[in-house]
Amino acid sequence: MTATATDMRETPRARIICTNSMQCTDLHSAQWKAKQRSLQWRVRSNPQFGNRSRYVGDEFCWNAHDAGFLLDEEALTWPIACVWMGGEEETGACSPAPPAAIFGYIGQQQWRDRLVNIRTAVGCRREAVEAARHASELYYCRARCVQAGIGYLPSFIAMASTLLTFFCIFGRHR
């Protein structure tokens, strides 16, 4: 018996809790792969594609979470992950990411270069290409991406506050 698209939506094999309101599944992976293949086909088959930025739209010109991987052939084999830029865990997205680690990042300059390359290849406006030159690093995660619904920085602040309170209360008794 073969699985249909409906079956896959109902029973995803991989589920990563990315943000408080988003879970990355195999469905996200399939959607991303379709987007990548579509973009690569359009760029290869139509040399004028890059000159029609209205057709490209925001999907490729302002997307900073996964657009840097769209021209990378290897990305088709990468597992899905939760990705976010800088310290903005709340704005995570689901995208394939390099398989080397459960948690990792792509350095600021390398990610900027990838974003500039994709935006230039598809003919984005100068403002979009310039914005890519100011992008921060990209983080990716495949497990424990949020801690009880709280991001890493708020978790750290809560833990530090608890420890400080503990030392203040029990430090007086000595």
Same domain, yes or no: 131 and 164: no
Same domain, yes or no: 37 and 115: yes
Which domain, by its residues, includes 84?
Answer: 12-143
Which residue is it, tokens 């497990």? 143
Same domain, yes or no: 59 and 31: yes
**DSSP 8-state class, residue 36:** H
- Percent of the chain at pLDDT > 90 equals 13
In a domain, 7, yes or no: no
Q: What is the value of pTM for the model shown?
A: 0.70
Same domain, yes or no: 115 and 159: no
Same domain, yes or no: 55 and 19: yes
Same domain, yes or no: 97 and 153: no
In a domain, 16, yes or no: yes
Full DSSP string of 16-32: EEEETTEEEEHHHHHHH
| Token representation of residue 122 | 């598809």
Same domain, yes or no: 138 and 156: no
Q: CA separation (Å) from 31 to 5, 24, 53, 135?
A: 12, 11, 22, 24
Band of pLDDT at residue 4, cut at 50, 70 and 90: very low
Same domain, yes or no: 105 and 120: yes
Whether the pLDDT of residue 84 is over 70: the answer is yes
Q: In this predicted model, what pLDDT tens digit does every residue of 94-134 receive, in sequence order?
A: 889 998 888 888 999 999 999 999 888 888 889 999 999 99
Same domain, yes or no: 42 and 80: yes
Same domain, yes or no: 23 and 60: yes
Same domain, yes or no: 119 and 36: yes
Q: What is the mean pLDDT of residues 59-73?
A: 85
Band of pLDDT at residue 1, cut at 50, 70 and 90: very low
Return the pLDDT at 109: 95
Contact at 8 Å (CB) between 35 and 48?
no
Same domain, yes or no: 102 and 133: yes
Number of domains forming the structure of the chain: 2
Find the length of the chain: 174
